[in-house]
Amino acid sequence: MTLRHIAARAGLVSFGLLLALVLLEVGMRGAGALIRARQLQNNREVLQQRHEFRILCLGESTTQGTVAYGHYPEMMQEILNQQHLGVGVAVVNQGRSGAETHVIVEQLKKDLETFSPNLVVAMMGINDAGRTHAYGTIIAPGANHWYGSFRTYKLYRMLRATLELDAAPEADEGLIVAADMVGHPPAAKTKTPKPAAPSPAPPPDPAVETSLRRASAHIDHGEFSDAEMILREILSVYPEDSWAHHELARLYAGQGDRAEARRVLARAIALVPHPTDGLYASLAIANEQDGDLDGSIAILRQLIDHIVPADDTPAQIHYRAALATLYEKQRRFDLAEQILLPVVEYDPGNDAHYQVLIDFYERRGNAERAAELHNRQQRVRHEYVNPGTRTNYHKLKEEVLGRGIALVAAQYPMRQVETLRRDLDHDSAVIYADNGFFQQLVARDGYWRYFTDNFGGDFGHLSTEGNYLLAENIARVITEQYFGVEFHPLQRKPADARR
């Protein structure tokens, strides 16, 4: 098969993939519109109930909820109506999946005029792009780019985060790991890092890129001869293509020929004018698997000192952590510590950067140093704020309170409410709902009992039980701090919460 035939077929495949993505995006947006329509219908039915007291819940997908796991505002309405408040309560759910705070604020006046609430519950900020360390969040790559608003991209982010936490490869699962780095999992889930290779830069010809993806698929399915034929033909035309060399090395590794895989990678680094750090990282992994720790260490040192830019913080941290792991294997603990110490100085306002050192000291049995860094991490997590989130929260507060409407500012599950209090200048006119108790529940029962994913870093979308507990806690705050009466939990198990 000639390269022209490959290009023609690749063009058809590319068109098919593009069409599939477009249809998926349209389908997801259509499904979102249907969910939104159902939500608006529910809100209209709430308004028709003519209850004396009306609550408007604002936020994103955590507020909007799902059919499968329920909606905390609906659960909260049921709970409040079984308290001794002296009025009937109607709760309107205006959660907007994926919304940033500026969108919520832009729709605020319309929402207030449409629903005429007596009280507003706001829980928002997790979707705001930028520096959101006060919420302990690491923004996924692409969130600030043109494709960041696509539903398919958000689905990809969520699925990838879940797979990385639950199915991260252990050290003995393969010779070469080819995956781009998209941030770091929460502390409780962090694994000892390997020098994972970022995806190589695509070739200049899109058709060849499609052919490379076909070759990769053949390798994944053990169809090595088909993959090798494609790769050899590509390299005959593009001998300096990093991706093709990388996949050829992965092919040999999959056949158990580690020596040839190493030779392919070494030749590629010598041949390609500007080798990607993925080639270096793959060779480092190959050396490590063959027991050549010194060779792997030398490559990682070259990556850190000469290949990866000093301001490429995620890559620097990743490769430093991988290098420290090799030093630990050689019991050169002083060198491991030395290579890790600069990590926290790259971006002192990022709480995630402390974790690799915390893990190191915990492995070394230095509980005192680990605790010290953990405390610093917690202080950082609650001392930095997203200016946009803070500004929009203030706009919401001024609009709501200015109309004589009560405001409950709810912190996300697992997060400390003190951050939210500070962002709102400890305004005593605001009622604050602290949902940090989820930390104790997770420590006792495990994370996945209360959450269905981890899109927020240390929290995610809630399970049925999680939604109920959130609803119950906010209902408690409203009952006690707004109405001034004793709260009575319902005589039922949270897991029985209505879906």
Q: Using one digit for the tens of pLDDT, what is the confidence trace for 146-178?
A: 444 454 544 554 454 444 334 333 333 333 333
What pLDDT score does 366 carry? 93
Spell out the domain ranges in the chain.
49-131+391-496, 168-203+238-381
* Multiple choice CATH, 168-203+238-381, 1.20.58.390, 3.40.50.2300, 1.25.40.10, 1.20.1740.10: 1.25.40.10
pTM for the model stands at 0.50
| Contact between residue 113 and residue 84 where contact means Cβ atoms under 8 Å apart | no
Mean pLDDT value of segment 21-50: 55
- pLDDT (0 to 100) of residue 181: 24
**In the predicted model, is pLDDT for residue 259 greater than 70?**
yes
Structure tokens, 42: 């529910």
Lowest mean pLDDT among 231-245, 437-451, 472-486: 231-245
Rounded to an integer, the average pLDDT of 61-90 is: 94
The vertex-421 CA angle with 448 and 353, nearest 5°, equals 55
Q: If DSSP states are collapsed to H, E and C, what string results for the chain?
A: CCHHHHHHHHHHHHHHHHHHHHHHHHHHHHHHHHHHHHHHHHHHHHHHCCCCEEEEEEECHHHHCECCCECHHHHHHHHHCCCCCCCCEEEEEEECCCCCHHHHHHCHHHHHHHHCCCEEEEECCCCCCCCCHHHCCCCCCCCCCHHHHCHHHHHHHHHHHHHHHHCCCCCCCCCCCECCCCCCCCHHHCCCCCCCECCCCCCCCHHHHHHHHHHHHHHHCCCHHHHHHHHHHHHHHCCCCHHHHHHHHHHHHHCCCHHHHHHHHHHHHHHCCCCCHHHHHHHHHHHHHCCCHHHHHHHHHHHHHHHCCCCCHHHHHHHHHHHHHHHHHCCCHHHHHHHHCCHHHHCCCCHHHHHHHHHHHHHCCCHHHHHHHHHHHHHHHCCCCCHHHHHHHHHHHHHHHHCCCEEEEECCCCCCHHHHHHHCCCCCCCEEECCCCHHHHHHHHCHHHCECCCCCCCCCCECHHHHHHHHHHHHHHHHHHHCCCCCCCCCCCHHHCCC
Taking only the tens place, the pLDDT of each residue in 78-108 is 999 999 999 999 999 999 998 999 999 999 9
Tokens 């832009």: give the residue: 106
* Least confident interval from 129-138, 283-292, 340-349, 362-371: 129-138
Note whether 49-131+391-496 and 168-203+238-381 share their fold: no
Between the alpha carbon of residue 116 and those of residues 54, 91, 212, 404, 483, the distances in Å are 7, 11, 58, 11, 19
Indicate the pLDDT class of residue 182, thresholds 50, 70 and 90. very low
The neighbour count for residue 319, using CB atoms within 10 Å, is: 28
* pLDDT given for residue 19 in this prediction: 67
Residue 271 — pLDDT band, cuts 50, 70, 90? Answer: confident
The yes-or-no verdict on residue 184 having pLDDT over 80 is no
Cα gap 427→425, rounded to integer Å: 5
* 3-48 and 206-220 helices, crossing angle to 10°: 80
Integer Cα distance of 138 and 314 in angstroms: 11
pLDDT for the residue numbered 204: 54
Q: What does the pLDDT average to over 368-396?
A: 83
Fold of 49-131+391-496: Rossmann fold (3.40.50)
pLDDT band at 449 (very low <50, low <70, confident <90, very high): very high
Q: What value does the mean pLDDT of the chain take? A: 78
Asked if the model's pLDDT at residue 373 lies above 80, the reply is yes
